[in-house]
Structure 1
Amino acid sequence: MNSNKKFGFTTTILHSDRQNPIEHGSLHKPIHTSVAFGYSDARKLASVFQGKEPGYRYGRQGNPTVSALEDKITKMEDGAQTICFATGMAAIGAVAQALLREGDHVVSSAFLFGNTNSLWQTVNLLGPKVTMVDATDVANVEAALTPQTRLVFVETIANPRTQVADLARIGELCRQRGILYVVDNTMTSPYLFRPKDVGAGLVINALTKSIAGHGIALGGSVTDTGVYDWSVYPNIADSYRRNPPAQWGMAQIRAKALRDFGATLGPEAAHHIAVGSETMALRIERECANALALARMLDADDRVQAVHYPGLPGHPQHALSASLFRAFGGLFSFELKDGIDCFDYLNRLKLAIPASNLGDTRTLVIPVAHTIFYEMGQARRAEMGIAESLIRVSVGIEDPEDIVEDFRQALSA
């Protein structure tokens, strides 16, 4: 394969491993289970540990199978370097652990996945201060900035109410102020959107979701897009400043978050994710088409109070989404009219499965207020627009007529 030629998204992923020699002519990078890596020359071992030449030190800090996946993610995001972690939450936590210090300030979207919201609350108790704002308008982000603001964090599309951040204008604001812009791309995936295009310095992906796609492996990643100038970031330790400035951020994340905290992605999971990623574009196209058809059906039904999906013209950020994303994603949420019990409705579904995940090949549903957002309490849910009857739907790749009929018959009953 000619590595100098630019290929399409799926072709690039399919043939990524073959850009480097693979053992025994394998078409996939094999699963390397060893946690230790021996060297015939002790001086080379020392040189690898000191970062003077490439190589593997210990399984917690890197593995050939994981490295091959990291290279795939980097290509997907058109980035400079990727570090993989055991979960998506570990990847977000790695950014906080490695890059923030006491007295620092973070501006975050208020519309976040429940566990990410909880993580920022924990960070807020440990020294750095976190301000949550409505990131659908850049003016709210700008008003929250202080001289101590080190990073701005947003999700592309919020889970589960699907608010879309003012991504491009926030990126421009961060560029002007020299602030690190961190974008969680999980809800869109690198196939639908590349945060690098709006100035993101770091991109988070929960690999568990659309990239792996089959609900069989946990994983997360942080990708440095190469856009951010790390020479202006004040919290880089002297030991990492020996590298070229473009490498400072990731060198510190790999050491302080991956090495020291040990949220390491295992080789078996990395292999599952890498294989799943090969069909990502095909799966996502089907999921997006199914989601749009299903959202339209529910939106037209009088028994449904509201449908929250960027693909619907009535969504507040519909036009913005159309300008940013290849399609509108495979996740939406909806509220039933008063008098229709959400649990009874979910129990009438025959295909959609009550379960907590998204980006699976199967359609999954969950009553949000009673499960993944239960811990935050009713008042905080109300602030975030989480109705007590809200149902989140992660749409799968079923035949479209089957999944639409399943949701329709559950309403009719």
Structure 2
Amino acid sequence: MQLSTRLLHAIPSDPQTGAIAVPIYQTSTFIQEAPGVNLGYDYARSGNPTRQALENLVATLESGHAGFAFASGLAAIDAVVKLLSAGDQIVAIDDIYGGAFRLFEHVYRRLGIDIVYCDTTDAANVAAVLTPRTRLIWLESPSNPTLKVSDISAIAAIAKANNVLLCVDNTFASPILQRPIELGADIVVHSATKYLGGHSDLIAGVVVAGTAELAAQLKFIQNASGGILGPFDSFLVIRGIETLALRVKQHCSSGLAVAKFLQAQPEIAQVFYPGLEDHPNHAVARRQQPGGFGGIVSIALADDSVESATRFVTSTRLFKLAESLGGPKSLLCHPATMTHKSTPAAQRRAAGVADGLVRLSVGLEDAEDLIQDLAQALALVRIGAEARAEVSVA
């Protein structure tokens, strides 16, 4: 059975009423027959039928043992880091999402957890920085925002040989294109705000555990910390997942078309998209993501400046300047001043997040319309660069 079919039929109908949609159990507590005797639920922080349906669904899609839904993607990341103790170490991808960097550096480093960053596209780099204190390897693949692709299977082998957990942020690919647990990862996280929800109308996060042991630990952390996803937002994510396969197919098609167009533009020094044959990790991406390469495209402007990037991101008409990604409407952002502004400039640039880098989330509009929008914005960037050059000469 194909994934798109399994996806739809993994969403349960209501056994009590026959409702085809998962009911929204908007309740804080559940009646008990006697102390400790209930119908499977006692308090909504500990469990809710709507949230449980979402958690089971994402676990099925990711080939995991169990899923856990949280109030945001960062809350999901936070739950995974709580598996560690003071004195432990995380090895993380160098161009890590700015929110994760802020959490790691300004919360958990202060609490005694060390973080080492490296270019994980070469598995040997990961092996080289492991120490006896390393307890977790943190990957984004593809990464945010430079679309680096790491060899999950190779890094999983290194992790297992060293008794280290491997967690993969699979937000950009979604389980339609990539399932890290099948490649050897222990844990998968998603910002369900993005492709899983798919409509830019909610904030949510999901963690999927690959084993019963990890599931038990994460369940305890979810209940003890309390950062759970509410029933209505759980319902919205389930509704979004129903069209996930169809949406991702279109995101991939338009993303590749946009990337190929941008590749030929003189105002752009580099296009970051794993589906392009000149992407340094294209072969790995083709193996790990056989269904496509996603809808995120990043570009480095030839004029590597905040000024040119600002002119570009404020000149598009269809692409809207906003945080986030993965929705039906195309978005773009300037990571240096938006998503990654909490990362020190030197570290950000060393990881490839330059001042002139722009991240595009290619939506569900007609690809040709998006290309025309980008063309007119690039023309304005060229005019601006020429005007500055004339002033400089004068």
The normalised TM-score by structure 2 is: 0.92
How far does residue 176 in structure 1 lie from its aligned partner after superposition? 2.1
Counterpart in the other structure of 2:37 = 44
- Any unmatched runs of 5+ in structure 1? 1-6, 46-53, 227-246
| Contact map agreement 2:333 2:359 (CA 8 A) in 1 | yes
Letter in 2 for 1:42: P
The Cα of 1:250 is off from its aligned counterpart by 1.9
Distance 2:36 2:155 in 1: 47
- Residue aligned with 1:107, SS: strand
- Secondary structure of residue in 1 paired with 2:136: strand
Partners of 1:364 and 1:43 lie apart in 2 by: 49
Distance 1:348 1:225 in 2: 44
Q: After superposition, what is the alpha-carbon deviation per residue over 1:233-273, rounded to whole angstroms, capped at 9, x for unaligned?
A: xxxxxxxxxxxxxx332222222x22222111000000000
Partner SS, residue 360 of structure 2: strand
Contact 1:22 1:29 in 2 (8 A): no
Q: Residues 111-150 of structure 1 correspond to what in structure 2 (within 5 A)?
A: 111-121=95-105, 122-150=107-135
Tell me the residue number matched to 2:205: 220
What's the counterpart of residue 369 of structure 1?
A: 336
SS of the residue corresponding to residue 117 of structure 1 reads: helix
Q: Residue in 2 aligned with 1:287?
A: 251
CA distance in 2, matches of 1:217, 1:201: 27
The amino acid of 2:231's aligned partner reads P
Are residues 1:185 and 2:170 paired? yes
Residues 144-191 of structure 1: per-residue CA shift (max 9 Å, x gap): 112222121111111001111121110111122222111111111000
Cα deviations across residues 263-304 of structure 1 (Å, max 9, x unaligned)?
Answer: 110000000000010111111111111111111111101111
Cross-structure match for 2:22: 29
The one-letter code sitting in structure 1 at the alignment partner of 2:129 is A
Indicate whether 1:203 and 2:188 are aligned.
yes
Instruction: Give, in whole Å, the separation in 2 of the partners of 1:406 and 1:151.
Output: 42
CA distance in 1, matches of 2:192, 2:115: 25
Cα distance in 1 for partners of 2:373, 2:36 equals: 64
Flag structure 2 segments of 5+ consecutive residues without an equivalent.
381-394
Secondary structure of 1:306's aligned partner: strand
Q: What is the percentage of aligned positions where both structures have the same residue?
A: 35
CA distance in 2, matches of 1:105, 1:315: 31
Whole-angstrom CA distance in 1 between matches of 2:234 and 2:14: 18
| Residue 378, structure 1, aligned to residue 378, structure 2 | no
Q: Could you tell me which residue of structure 2 aligns to residue 308 of structure 1?
A: 272
SS at match of 1:307: strand
How far 1:206 sits from its partner (Å)? 1.1
Residue of structure 1 in register with 2:236 after alignment:
272
Cα distance in 1 between the residues matched to 2:8 and 2:150:
31
Q: CA deviation at 1:311?
A: 1.2
Q: Report the secondary structure of 2:92's partner residue.
A: strand
Q: 1:177 to 1:376 in 2, by over 3 A?
A: closer
- The aligned residue for residue 337 of structure 1 is 302
In 2, the alpha carbon distance for the partners of 1:308 and 1:332 equals: 6
Q: Which residue of 2 is the match for residue 8 of structure 1? A: 2
Moved more, 321-330 or 271-280: 321-330
Distance 1:382 1:362 in 2: 29
Is the contact between residue 87 and residue 112 of structure 2 (CA under 8 Å) also seen in structure 1? Answer: yes
Q: How many matched pairs?
A: 376
SS in structure 2 at match of 1:348: coil
Partner of 1:253: 218
**In structure 1, distance between residues paired with 2:96 and 2:109:** 15
Number of the residue aligned with 2:323: 356
Per-residue Cα deviation, 1:54-94 (whole angstroms, up to 9, x for no partner): 71121112100000111110111111111111111111100
Q: Which amino acid in 2 is paired with 1:388? A: D
Deviation at 1:38, TM superposition (A): 0.9
Matched residues in 1 for 2:193 and 2:15: separation? 25
Q: 1:181 to 1:9 in 2, by over 3 A?
A: same
Q: CA deviation at 1:336?
A: 1.8
2: distance between equivalents of 1:22 and 1:383?
55
Letter in 1 for 2:265: D
Q: In 1, Cα distance between the equivalents of 2:309 and 2:87?
A: 44
**Secondary structure at 2:110 match in 1:** helix
- Cα distance in structure 1, aligned partners of 2:325 and 2:16: 34
SS in 2 for 1:270: helix
1:313: how far off? 1.6
The residue type paired with residue 100 of structure 2 is T
1:96 is displaced (CA, Å) by 1.0
Deviations 1:10-48 (A, max 9, x none): 222222233x75331100110001110111233515xxx
Query: Conserved in 2, the CA contact under 8 Å of 1:23 and 1:30?
Result: no
- Cα RMSD (Å) of the superposition? 1.6
Structure 1 residues 377 and 106, CA gap change in structure 2 (3 angstroms): closer
Deviation at residue 382 of structure 1 after TM alignment: 1.3
Amino acid at match of 1:60: R
Q: Deviations over 1:354-400 (max 9, x none)?
A: 01011111110111112122222321221211111111101101111
2:67 paired with 1:103? no
